[in-house]
Structure 1
Amino acid sequence: MVRLPLTPDEVRRGERLGALLRRARGNRSMLEVALDAGVSPETLRKIESGRVATPAFPTVAGIAAVLGLSLDEIWREVNEPWEEARPAGRPDGAALVASS
């Protein structure tokens, strides 16, 4: 099966998802979160770095559960228009996830 190239919007959503998961992971190790979620550390690394912009739903659901994120919250934040998703003065969008 041939995969079509990702659209610019898909790439941006993948980057936002990765940033959101990195922030939500906080000081927990990538290995710990990945194993708890039932995914490989390499898969989590690729998602967090944006290299896998469209991960499978069960993968996202597993990681979200381990990090205490709701899928609704992830969907809303990853799909917001780009300018609205980035708080003023924060080019990295760091305020998207409240610290626990």
Structure 2
Amino acid sequence: MPKSKDETVAKQPTKKARVQEMLSASAVSVGEIAEALAISKQAAYSLIGDVKRSGVAITGTLVEGSMRYSIAKEKRTKAKAAAFGKGAVVSAEPSTDGR
């Protein structure tokens, strides 16, 4: 018998979403991801790549001979750069410096 549309089934988060949660919580190794999701290490590498391709910046650090991956923290722009902008400003008005 088919389920009616009224029945709500709690959807489990996807593996990609779970990897993204793990990466945002703390630095994790590929082995830890593979063990937590009961997948191979190659599949864990693939999921990290999927998260990265979705636009999330991921950093990797070598800790005691093991790479640990995490989501990169956003860099704050310097106040001076934000106040003055980047590069020279060119206006369409002719200069009137008296030459």
* Structure 2 length-normalised TM: 0.28
Q: Which has the higher contact order (CA 8 A, sep 6+)?
A: 1
Pick the structure with more helix per residue.
1
Pick the structure with more strand per residue.
2
Structure of higher CA gyration radius: 2
